[in-house]
A and B are shown apart, each in its own frame.
Chain A
Amino acid sequence: MHPLRSGSAVAVAVLLGAALGLGFFTLFHAEGLSYLSDDPRACANCHVMNEVFEGWQKGPHHAVATCNDCHVPHDFLGKWLSKGLNGFHHSKAFTLQDFHEPIQITRRNAEALQGSCLHCHGEFVHEVVAAQRAADDPVRCVHCHRGVGHGAAE
């Protein structure tokens, strides 16, 4: 499903290296290295993450899922590849301050997110998902559950 996931680990290393080289001080100073941890407070180190963090704290998933439970793939390779790519993307964006606001989820991360929903709720929604017409044409959970991670956009 994800060509990148099966892609070469070398690329990961290169990207990670580039990320570290380019943005080491940025990462350090902005406490961005904590990005590699699973602690939600690590995400909230960046003020641009404050709103989602606060939303998550109030949200129904607070007690059961942290940022990475939703935003990082649940298989080992996918998880670390994702962390590498996201880490690179993050430090670049933060250093250059060139990102679109409001922040928009990337397509790849949206797919990972869908996988996370199914990781936890797969049995419950099995019958609904099974009526699928094609593998690349899913019922997108966030079509209805818009605010599930960190509160509705209101």
Chain B
Amino acid sequence: MELAVTTPVGTGEIPLGFYLALSGALFLLGLVGVLIRRNPLLLLLAVELMLNGANVALVGFARYWNDTGGQIFALIVMVVAAAEVVIGLGLVVAIFRQRLELDVDELSRLRG
């Protein structure tokens, strides 16, 4: 435990702005992925990118404010992400079982 506290990484030389920029970039990248991909598996991956982007921001803010809350938030997000992924993959398997195309564009009988 002591070791972790005094770990030399993270001396605070990088300003928050950089982290936030990266976070935003990852988020938008994920968003683009959701918009252009049609395979549900890839969509789930893209969503993971978005959540990671958000996590980077959360942890960055936590650092900025010296508040544990952000990191807790990030951990919770990971759990949620895991849950979403599990359900998503379960759905993918169910769809596969029903011999349906693994393409969200094909799954569009509901419309109007």
Same complex origin of A and B: no
Residues in chain A within 8 A of chain B (CB atoms):
none
